[in-house]
A and B are shown apart, each in its own frame.
Chain A
């Protein structure tokens, strides 16, 4: 599956899910990359962004199930 990763404020990237390296434990059968694995492909970490699918945040440790992902750099401070 090809995943469109829309990093807001930057360019949109197309990533071939089969080419994403999987870091965590894998279930039986084919390993499935997580959103965190996808973030690594665009040089971002869960500490600095939120991942949204259909406008809703998704946990970064979940397997990628959508072909369109929005990535938002966090806006916060003190």
Chain B
């Protein structure tokens, strides 16, 4: 591993909005996409969040974003000059970290996976390191 420790800059207004969505969406998981400035190592910066529908068959314990909606969001953020920074989803009943399912189904190398846990109330973020097949915790920098 080279470079500095990973960080994710998250504007307070965006963090608050996601928390609000997570509370409104409970007991189901909510999810969405972050646009902004992406760095595979070091600091990524969230500039926008794009809510997406959770189309998982069991949305209380799973989340999935429909590919057509995903593509539409990517086109919107690219039109705004943003990069794909990462994704967020909620864990209405915890845990405040990636679940075994999150690890088994992660596919985006080096992107941020931010998790809002409601019980216990905690917001954390991790980078998916594909070569190691594990999540690496990153620091959230409020802005």
Give residues in A with beta carbon < 8 Å to B.
Answer: 8-9, 48-50, 52, 55-57, 70, 72-78
Contact = CB atoms under 8 A, between A and B. Distances in A.
A50 B106 contact: no
Contacts, number: 63
B71 A9 contact: no
Given A9-B111, A48-B107, A49-B107, A75 B71 contact: no
A55 to B, nearest CB: 6
Given A73-B107, A76-B56, A76-B105, A52 B100 contact: no
Q: Which of B31, B102, B106 has the most CB of A within 10 A?
A: B106
Chain B interface size, under 10 / 10 to 19 / 20 to 34 / 35 or more: 20 to 34
Contacts of B68: 52, 55-57
B71 A74 contact: no
Given A8-B74, A9-B84, A52-B68, A73 B108 contact: yes
